[in-house]
């Protein structure tokens, strides 16, 4: 891997400052990605009526987006290892603009599904390079903080962006809202060209085969923890309304999610301040705090105050988790960092899909209360791996 893959320009290294304009552009790219993925969930009735299909069918536009990310991340990152990195970033953003326009004008549900899958493929590419790109813009002692800033768009989108997108769709229609997303992608391309530096890809002789990625010490434990952690989160988050309904809190779902979102934003700030010195401690605390919050939900779900406190703890645990896991994976990956990140993207999206599937089966077979206990079991498994993998995966 060339030297430019590890170090930022001299002016950044010497000043010790963070290139905030560029890092925030990367965060905006993540923000748009999450908005595009989750937007249909808030506008199912309107899309259903226009496309002439059921709401459950329209819900599959979210599913195929995630499948596209799973399918595209590893093969496309592998195929483009030699590309200039900014070229790949701009390709993903251009893909967002084009697929958003097609989604906005499509009257054919099958075409909409196909184009959503393609949008997910572009998302797999973007997630595969985002954390690595942020690392290469700063000096090694700022790697964790740079990744935290670059990935901040995800919780911001979940806490603020998706509800705002749903509100906008109610005002101007869901088709014009996708048009707005296309415009935002084009504006972001201009921002990237102005503020994000370019970096060389890897020469052919420097590239690591995908099969050898898992042999790097520490990579496999980080990927497994990511899968367990994300699956646990989505198992409960996806069905939070169903979980709260039996305890009489159906009208409080939005408030609970708002508490979760605000706490997630606080978590990002804490993570950014401490990650470069205390990654292992933060990851242990994140897993343990999440498990504690879920345990409280399992035992005290009939107490509204306990639910809101648990949601806050959950948000504090989850907000910085992506930065912690991506930084750990990048540190363990060494020269194969881009491929490791594509594997992480695949594991993350499998966790999302797996959480939804397992949660649905548990809900229908064992009732809403089983969601908290299944989530708790997954988190305990993740916590055990984090605490024991102290040499390469989550070193002190």
Query: Could you state, in chain order, the average pLDDT of each consecutive group of 10 residues for the chain (396 residues)?
Result: 37 61 94 89 82 82 86 80 87 96 95 95 89 87 86 81 82 94 97 92 60 72 93 87 87 84 89 89 96 96 94 93 88 73 83 83 89 96 93 80
Taken in order 168, 171, 174, 175, the sign of the CA dihedral is: negative
Q: How big is the chain by its Cα radius of gyration, in Å?
A: 20
Predicted pLDDT of residue 179: 96
Q: How many CB atoms lie within 10 A of CB 191?
A: 17
Angle of helix 174-195 versus helix 162-172 axis, rounded to 10? 130
Name which of 237, 312, 264 is nearest 154 in CA terms: 264
Predicted pLDDT of residue 342: 78
Q: Looking at the chain, list the stretches that DSSP marks H as alpha helix, in order from N- to C-terminal side.
A: 10-15, 20-42, 44-51, 55-79, 85-105, 109-136, 143-150, 153-156, 162-172, 174-195, 210-213, 219-237, 240-244, 253-300, 304-318, 321-333, 337-366, 369-388
Instruction: Give start-end residues of each CATH 1.20.1250.20 domain in the chain.
Output: 3-206, 210-388
Rounded to the nearest 5 degrees, what angle is found at the Cα of 104, between the Cα atoms of 99 and 108? 90
Whether the Cβ atoms of residue 200 and residue 4 lie closer than 8 Å to each other: yes
Longest Cα–Cα distance of the chain, Å, equals 61
User: What single-letter DSSP state applies at residue 313?
Assistant: H
Name which of 247, 360, 357 is nearest 304 in CA terms: 247
Predicted pLDDT of residue 352: 81
Cα separation of 84 and 150, whole Å?
A: 19
CATH number for the segment(s) 210-388 = 1.20.1250.20
Name which of 259, 267, 266 is nearest 307 in CA terms: 259
pTM of the model: 0.79
Predicted pLDDT of residue 205: 54
Taken in order 267, 268, 270, 276, the sign of the CA dihedral is: positive
Name which of 215, 216, 324 is nearest 268 in CA terms: 324
Whether the Cβ atoms of residue 338 and residue 88 lie closer than 8 Å to each other: no
CATH number for the segment(s) 3-206 = 1.20.1250.20
Q: Give the tokens for residue 357.
A: 């599937």
């Amino acid at each position: 891997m060339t030297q430019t893959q590890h170090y930022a320009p001299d002016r950044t290294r010497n000043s010790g400052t963070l290139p905030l304009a560029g890092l925030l552009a990367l965060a905006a790219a993540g923000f748009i990605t999450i908005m595009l993925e989750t937007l249909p969930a808030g506008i199912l009735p309107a899309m259903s009526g226009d496309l002439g299909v059921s709401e459950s069918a329209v819900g599959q536009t979210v599913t195929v987006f995630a499948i596209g990310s799973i399918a595209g991340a590893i093969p496309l990152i592998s195929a483009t290892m030699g590309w200039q990195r900014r070229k790949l970033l701009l390709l993903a953003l251009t893909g967002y603009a084009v697929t958003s326009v097609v989604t906005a004008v499509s009257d054919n549900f099958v075409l909409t599904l196909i184009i959503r899958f393609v949008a997910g493929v572009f998302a797999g590419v973007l997630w595969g390079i985002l954390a690595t790109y942020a690392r290469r813009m700063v000096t090694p002692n700022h790697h964790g903080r740079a990744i935290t800033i670059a990935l901040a768009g995800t919780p911001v989108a979940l806490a603020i962006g998706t509800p705002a997108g749903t509100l906008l769709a109610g005002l101007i229609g869901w088709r014009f809202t996708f048009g707005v997303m296309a415009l935002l992608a084009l504006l972001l391309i201009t921002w990237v060209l102005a503020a994000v530096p370019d970096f060389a890809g890897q020469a052919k002789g420097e590239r690591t085969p995908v099969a050898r990625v898992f042999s790097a010490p520490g990579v496999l434990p980080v990927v497994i923890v990511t899968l367990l952690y994300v699956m646990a989160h989505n198992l409960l988050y996806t069905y939070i309304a169903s979980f709260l309904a039996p305890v009489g809190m159906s009208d409080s779902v939005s408030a609970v999610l708002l508490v979760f979102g605000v706490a997630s934003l606080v978590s990002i700030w804490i993570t950014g301040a401490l990650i470069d010195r205390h990654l292992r401690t933060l990851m242990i605390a994140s897993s343990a705090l999440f498990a504690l919050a879920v345990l409280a939900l399992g035992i005290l779900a009939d107490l509204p105050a306990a639910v809101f406190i648990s949601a806050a703890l959950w948000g504090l645990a989850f907000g910085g988790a992506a930065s912690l896991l991506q930084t750990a994976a990048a540190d363990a990956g060494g020269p194969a960092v881009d491929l490791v990140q594509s594997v992480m993207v695949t594991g993350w999206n499998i966790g999302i899909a797996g959480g939804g599937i397992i949660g649905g089966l548990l809900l229908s077979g064992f009732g809403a209360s089983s969601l908290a206990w299944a989530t708790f079991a997954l988190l305990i498994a993740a916590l055990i791996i984090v605490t024991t993998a102290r040499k390469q995966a989550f070193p002190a």
